[in-house]
């Protein structure tokens, strides 16, 4: 049985409950053992880096320290958490900065786990095989949306191409779902500006949704809790926005009604369609 270290982050238990629950449900079905980082704390989100650079390293670094004893790669579902953890990891990799972190956190980093976005787990050959054997049969076009924090800064993350990301597209294609080509898959949703200036975020979200529709998609599929919340909260078009793990859940027959009830834009019609074309 494969084991992973898991950093859920705050939102996966609250505002992105359906992402957290669909992730754990799917991983359990795939027989992957999930070990949460012991006594994990918030990653600092956009606030630590905005007000105190020192904290923006130390707060996420505490999670990496707590993960070390588990001795396996960390998978992170939330883009913001992933981004902050990676910045802390790069600081720990730097000899001079590491000494400061070790002093503040009373520890020694002899070993550093790898940190990946949750999508990367579903790009492994054995799991791709499972996805491919659970293909939807019928036509459905969706727009894969990545946002920012899974992609940039490229020199820190070194994971996906910042201009042409493919992970979510690949997962959906493996499931037999067609993904549209569209120019805004890596465009910013407005992020944490949503509460401070919702008018700006509404404009960005309108643009993203209308481009996704224009490209011929019936829904957006994303992996970022803040993107998903903004896309649902700040639109008036009733356009459904899914987490990719929810789609995998339907494909594998382990989806739960409670996921759909948590959405601010009712996705029922499309869920019905997905179930109809399930293999």
Long-range Cβ pairs for the range 89-98 (8 Å, 24+) = 89/64, 89/115, 90/156, 91/57, 91/61, 92/61, 92/64, 97/57
User: For residues 55 and 99, which CB has a smaller minimum distance to other proteins in the complex?
Assistant: 55
Contact with other proteins (CB under 8 A): which of 112, 215, 254, 264?
Answer: 264
Contact with other proteins (CB under 8 A): which of 4, 10, 32, 68?
Answer: 10
Helices (DSSP H) in the chain: which residue ranges?
Answer: 17-29, 45-51, 53-67, 79-93, 95-105, 118-121, 125-132, 154-157, 167-174, 193-196, 198-214, 225-233, 244-251, 257-262, 268-276
**Cα angle 47-116-160, degrees, rounded to a multiple of 5:** 90
Cβ atoms of 187 and 224 closer than 8 Å: no
Q: Within 195-254, which residues bind other proteins (CB under 8 A)?
A: 195-198, 200, 204, 233
Per CB under 8 A, 45 contacts other proteins: yes
Per CB under 8 A, 70 contacts other proteins: no
Per CB under 8 A, 102 contacts other proteins: no
Per CB under 8 A, 91 contacts other proteins: no
Per CB under 8 A, 190 contacts other proteins: yes
Q: Two tokens at 249?
A: 């859940």
Contact with other proteins (CB under 8 A): which of 33, 108, 261, 272?
Answer: 261
Cβ atoms of 61 and 92 closer than 8 Å: yes
User: For residues 108 and 132, which CB has a smaller minimum distance to other proteins in the complex?
Assistant: 108
> Could you write out the DSSP letters of every residue in 108-149?
--S----EEEHHHHTTSHHHHHHHHTT-B-S--EEEEE--ST
Cβ atoms of 119 and 244 closer than 8 Å: yes
Contact with other proteins (CB under 8 A): which of 72, 187, 218, 256?
Answer: 187
Q: Phi-psi region for residue 207, left (φ > 0), alpha (ψ -120 to 50) or beta?
A: alpha
Per CB under 8 A, 49 contacts other proteins: yes
Per CB under 8 A, 55 contacts other proteins: yes
Residues near 106 by Cβ (< 8 Å), separated by ≥ 6?
none
Per CB under 8 A, 53 contacts other proteins: yes
Per CB under 8 A, 168 contacts other proteins: no
Per CB under 8 A, 257 contacts other proteins: no
> Which region among 13-21, 166-174, 245-253, 269-277 touches other proteins (by CB under 8 A)?
13-21
**CA–CA dist 76, 5 (Å, integer):** 9
User: For residues 49 and 98, which CB has a smaller minimum distance to other proteins in the complex?
Assistant: 49
> Which region among 28-36, 166-174, 246-254, 259-267 touches other proteins (by CB under 8 A)?
259-267
| Smallest gap from residue 194 Cβ to other proteins (A) | 9
Q: Which residues bind other proteins (CB under 8 A)?
A: 10, 14-15, 17, 39-42, 44-53, 55, 58-59, 62, 104-105, 148, 151-155, 162-163, 186-188, 190-193, 195-198, 200, 204, 233, 261-262, 264
């Amino acid at each position: 049985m494969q084991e992973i270290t898991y950093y859920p982050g705050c939102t996966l238990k609250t505002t992105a409950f359906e992402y957290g629950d669909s992730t754990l449900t799917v991983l359990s079905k795939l027989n992957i053992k999930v070990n949460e980082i012991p006594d994990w704390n918030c990653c600092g989100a956009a606030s630590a880096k905005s007000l105190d650079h020192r904290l923006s390293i130390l707060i996420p670094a505490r999670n990496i320290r707590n993960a070390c004893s588990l001795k396996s790669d960390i998978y992170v579902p939330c883009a913001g958490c992933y981004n902050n953890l990676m910045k802390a990891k790069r600081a720990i990799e730097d000899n001079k900065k590491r000494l400061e972190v070790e002093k503040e956190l009373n520890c020694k980093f002899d070993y550093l786990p790898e940190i990946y976005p949750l999508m990367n787990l579903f790009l492994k050959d054995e799991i791709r095989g499972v996805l491919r054997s659970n293909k939807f049969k019928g036509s459905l076009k969706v727009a894969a949306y990545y946002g920012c924090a899974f992609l940039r800064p490229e020199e820190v993350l070194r994971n996906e191409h910042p201009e042409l990301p493919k992970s979510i597209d690949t997962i959906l294609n493996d499931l037999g779902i067609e993904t549209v080509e569209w120019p805004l898959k890596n465009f910013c949703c407005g992020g944490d500006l949503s509460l401070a200036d919702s008018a700006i975020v509404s404009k960005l979200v309108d643009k993203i949704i209308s481009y996704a529709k224009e490209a011929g998609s019936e829904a957006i599929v994303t992996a970022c809790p803040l993107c998903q919340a903004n896309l649902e909260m700040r639109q008036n078009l009733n356009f459904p926005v899914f987490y990719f793990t929810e789609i995998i859940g339907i494909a594998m027959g382990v989806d739960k009604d409670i996921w759909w009830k948590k959405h601010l834009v009712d996705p029922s019609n499309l869920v019905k369609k997905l179930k109809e074309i399930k293999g």
